[in-house]
């Protein structure tokens, strides 16, 4: 039972353009959402997060949007850079919950 | 990866042997989490520990798997009598206080291969 879904296994984007990674969730008890970036042979690295009381959080080139009614969030990267090529995991956490629930990831390729 | 240390990075075991995976959290962090990533899958929560206590082991298989985080030394994830299906990447994460909005910092992982 996949509570956090990333339906696109991979995405290719031209360098300099906007990358949009999508994520859907099913559990309305989630109140904190995170994006992690992972390079091969390394552990996930925290990128950006958003609380369920907000609909947008921005950090430099990265912006996360949350649509609670649709149970959907997205990560925007603009402009996309070669170093952004990695696997991106959407993740969620419940209030007073310790575990993070991860999606299966989307592999982002930034094309020169 | 923010100072979380895991060793070994790669571990090869034959079926039936024991695997011991170690995790040293970031300095000042007393909360440790173990996750497992199977090929082509996301990370799946296994267990959450504080020093000398298991807080949540809802993701741990009922048999053969155990975890500890002693007062001194690293956290250990132990898999007894390994089977091929245990082959995966095992990641450890740590956080300062375990609160909901707090980031977890991940180590580089241990890649276990069972032959």
Cross-chain Cβ contact A49/B91 below 8 Å: no
pLDDT at B1: 45
Interchain CB contact of B56 with A (< 8 Å): yes
Interchain CB contact of B53 with A (< 8 Å): no
For residue B69, give every residue at least 6 positions away whose Cβ sits within 8 Å of its Cβ, in sequence order, or none: B32, B49, B50, B51, B52, B53, B75, B76
Tokens at residue B86, please? 């245990």
Interchain CB contact of B105 with A (< 8 Å): yes
Residue spans of beta strands (DSSP E) within chain B: 5-7, 10-13, 19-24, 31-37, 43-50, 53-56, 65-68, 75-79, 88-95, 105-106, 110-114
Virtual CA dihedral for A21, A7, B105, B9, nearest 10 degrees? Answer: -120
The partner residue sitting opposite B101, judged by closest CB among A43, A46, A51, is: A51
Minimum distance, in Å, between the CA of residue B80 and any CA atom of chain A:
24
CA geometry: angle A21, A22, A26, nearest 5 deg? 155
Cross-chain Cβ contact B109/A46 below 8 Å: no
Average of per-residue pLDDT values in chain B: 91
Best of A33, A47, A97, A98 to substitute, by most chain B Cβ atoms within 10 angstroms, is A98
**Residue entry with tokens 């956080």:** B95
Residue of chain B whose alpha carbon sits nearest to that of A103: B42
Report pLDDT digits (tens) over A54-75: 999 999 999 999 999 999 999 9
* CA–CA distance, A81 with A16 (Å, rounded to integer): 6
Report pLDDT digits (tens) over A3-20: 999 999 999 999 999 999
Report pLDDT digits (tens) over B75-94: 999 999 999 999 999 999 99
Minimum distance, in Å, between the CA of residue B101 and any CA atom of chain A:
7
DSSP state of B77: E
Q: In the structure, what pLDDT confidence band is assigned to residue B51 with cuts at 50, 70 and 90? A: confident
The partner residue sitting opposite B106, judged by closest CB among A44, A51, A103, is: A44
B chain contacts of residue A4, beta-carbon cutoff 8 Å: 42
pLDDT at A41: 86
Q: How far is CA B41 from CA A5, A30, B66, in A?
A: 11, 21, 22
Assess whether pLDDT exceeds 60 at residue B2. no
* CA–CA distance, B103 with B87 (Å, rounded to integer): 27
Report pLDDT digits (tens) over A87-111: 999 999 887 667 889 999 999 999 9
pLDDT at B100: 58
* CA–CA distance, A75 with A2 (Å, rounded to integer): 19
**Residue entry with tokens 């245990």:** B86
Residues A25-36, mean pLDDT to the nearest whole number: 92
Would you list the DSSP string of B52-68?
Answer: TEEEE-TTS-SSSEEEE
């Amino acid at each position: 039972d996949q509570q956090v879904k990333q339906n696109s296994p991979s995405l290719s984007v031209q360098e300099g353009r906007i990358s949009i990674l999508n994520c859907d969730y099913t559990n309305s008890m989630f109140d904190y959402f995170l994006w992690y970036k992972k390079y091969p042979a390394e552990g996930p690295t925290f990128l950006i997060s958003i609380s369920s009381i907000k609909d947008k959080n921005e950090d430099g080139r990265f912006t996360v949007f949350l649509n609670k009614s649709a149970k959907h969030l997205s990560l925007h990267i603009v402009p996309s850079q070669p170093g952004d090529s990695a696997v991106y995991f959407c993740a969620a956490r419940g209030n007073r919950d310790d575990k993070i629930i991860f999606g299966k990831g989307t592999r982002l390729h930034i094309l020169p | 990866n923010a100072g979380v240390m895991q060793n070994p990075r790669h571990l090869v075991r034959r079926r039936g042997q024991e695997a011991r995976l170690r995790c040293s959290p970031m300095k000042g962090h007393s909360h440790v989490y173990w996750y497992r990533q199977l090929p082509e899958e996301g990370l799946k929560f296994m267990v959450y520990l504080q020093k000398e206590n298991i807080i949540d082991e809802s993701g741990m298989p009922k048999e053969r798997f155990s975890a500890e985080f002693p007062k001194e030394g690293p956290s250990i994830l132990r898999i007894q009598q390994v089977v091929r299906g245990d082959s995966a990447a095992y990641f450890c994460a740590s956080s300062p206080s375990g609160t909901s909005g707090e980031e977890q910092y991940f180590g580089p992982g241990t890649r276990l291969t069972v032959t």
